[in-house]
A and B are shown apart, each in its own frame.
Chain A
Amino acid sequence: MMRVLDARGRNEGLGVLPASYLYKVAYTTLVDEIRRLRRRPEVPLEAEGHGDGTSAPVAAGNPEQDLAASEVGEAITQCLSGLGDDRRRAVTLHLQGHTVPQAAALLGWDAKRTENLVYRGLADLRQCLEAKGVKP
Chain B
Amino acid sequence: MSTQDEPHEAEERLRAAFQARRTAATTPEGCPAAADLWSAVRGELPVEKRRALVDHTSLCGACAEAWRLAMDVSRELPPVSRPWRVSLAPLAAAAALVLALGGAWLFWAHRPVEAPGFRGGEAPVIRSLIREDAALPRSDFRLRWSPGPDGSRYDVRVTTESLQVLAGGQRLAEPSFLVPESALAPLPKDSRILWRVEAVLPDGERTASATFVTRLE
Q: How distant is the Cα of A76 from the Cα of B59 in the complex, in angstroms?
A: 9
On whether the beta carbons of B113 and A105 are closer than 8 Å, the reply is no
Report whether B17 and A28 are in contact in the complex, using a CB–CB cutoff of 8 Å.
no
B84 A16 Cβ-Cβ under 8 A: yes
Contact mask for chain B residues 7-31; partner A; CB cutoff 8 A; 1 contact, 0 none: 0001101111111111110000001
Residues of A within 8 A of B181 (CB): none
- Taking CB atoms and an 8 Å cut-off, the chain B residues in 178-209 that contact chain A are none
Q: A77 — which chain B residues lie within 8 A by C-beta? A: 21, 23, 58-59, 61
Q: Are A27 and B67 in contact (CB under 8 A)?
A: no
By a CB distance below 8 angstroms, the chain A residues around B40 are 106
Contact of B54 among A22, A81, A93 (CB under 8 A): A93
Contact status B112-A28, CB under 8 Å: no
Q: Are B98 and A23 in contact (CB under 8 A)?
A: yes
Distance of A29 Cα from B98 Cα, bound (Å): 10
Chain B interfacial positions (CB closer than 8 Å to A): 10-11, 13-24, 31, 33-35, 37-43, 47, 50-51, 54-55, 57-59, 61-62, 64, 66-71, 73-74, 76-78, 81-86, 90-92, 94-95, 97-99, 102, 106, 112-114, 117, 119, 164-165
A23 touches B50 (CB 8 A): no
26 contacts between A and B (CB under 8 A): A1-B95, A16-B84, A16-B85, A19-B94, A20-B77, A26-B97, A27-B38, A27-B70, A31-B69, A34-B102, A35-B34, A60-B164, A60-B165, A69-B20, A73-B61, A77-B59, A81-B59, A92-B57, A96-B18, A96-B71, A97-B119, A106-B41, A107-B47, A122-B11, A136-B14, A136-B16
A97 and B68 in contact (CB under 8 A), knowing A69-B113, A107-B51?
yes
Instruction: Collect the chain B residues with CB atoms within 8 Å of residue A34's CB.
Output: 66, 102, 106
Q: In the complex, which residues of chain A have a beta carbon less than 8 angstroms from the beta carbon of B23?
A: 73-74, 77
Q: Is the CB of A22 within 8 A of B117?
A: no
Indicate the size class of the contact surface on chain A: 35 or more
Which chain B residue shows the least CB distance to A95?
Answer: B18
A89 with B55: CB separation less than 8 A: yes
In the assembled complex, A46 has its CB within 8 A of some CB on chain B:
no
- Measured between beta carbons, the chain B residues less than 8 angstroms from A18 are 81-84
Whether A89 touches B58, Cβ cut-off 8 Å, given contacts A65-B113, A72-B17, A73-B17, is: yes
Q: Mark A83-105, 1 if CB is under 8 A from B, else 0.
A: 00100110111011110000001
Q: A60-B165, A96-B71, A106-B40 are in contact. Are A22 and B15 (CB under 8 A)?
A: no
Q: Could you tell me the distance between the alpha carbons of A136 and B13 in the complex, rounded to whole angstroms?
A: 6
Does A15 interact with chain B (Cβ within 8 Å)? Answer: yes
Contact A24 B71 (CB under 8 A): no
Q: Which of A3-38 contact B (CB under 8 A)?
A: 4-5, 8, 11, 15-20, 22-24, 26-32, 34-35, 38
Q: Is the beta-carbon distance between A73 and B51 smaller than 8 angstroms?
A: no
